A = this chain, B = another copy of it.
Amino acid sequence: MPKPANAVHNRIALFRTERGLTRKVLAELVDVNPQTIGFLERGDYGPSVELALKLARVFGVPVDALFSLEPFPALANQLSAPPSSESP
């Protein structure tokens, strides 16, 4: 069960929890076993493109938003500055 050094990074857990989905229902949506989702989320192995495409379709995002060869930046780094009450 060791995770391979050359693992592909993903944001499945991020998108899944954001949508309030459980692993079980996500698994049903893409037609795999629930524990397969677990394996993917913790990077124990990377999926096939087919599964990647299905997951991306469920979340309505491109595959590249879900999977990457490079680690994803913390989401704080990607958020644009929220409207502030302070004047610039």
Chain A interface (Cβ < 8 Å from any Cβ of B): 6, 8, 46-54, 56-57, 62-64, 67-69
Considering the chains assembled together, what is the distance between the CA atoms of A51 and B67 in angstroms? 12
Which B residues are CB-close (under 8 A) to A6?
50
Interface contact A8-B69, CB-CB below 8 Å: no
Contact in complex: A64, B64 (CB < 8 Å): yes
Query: Which single member of B49, B57, B62 contacts A52 (CB below 8 Å)?
Result: B49
With contacts A47-B48, A62-B63 taken as known, whether A8 is within 8 angstroms of B53 at the C-beta atoms is: yes
Minimum C-beta distance from A9 to chain B (A) = 10
Q: With a CB–CB cut-off of 8 A, which chain B residues contact A54?
A: 69
Q: Which residues of B contact A8 (CB under 8 A)?
A: 48-50, 53
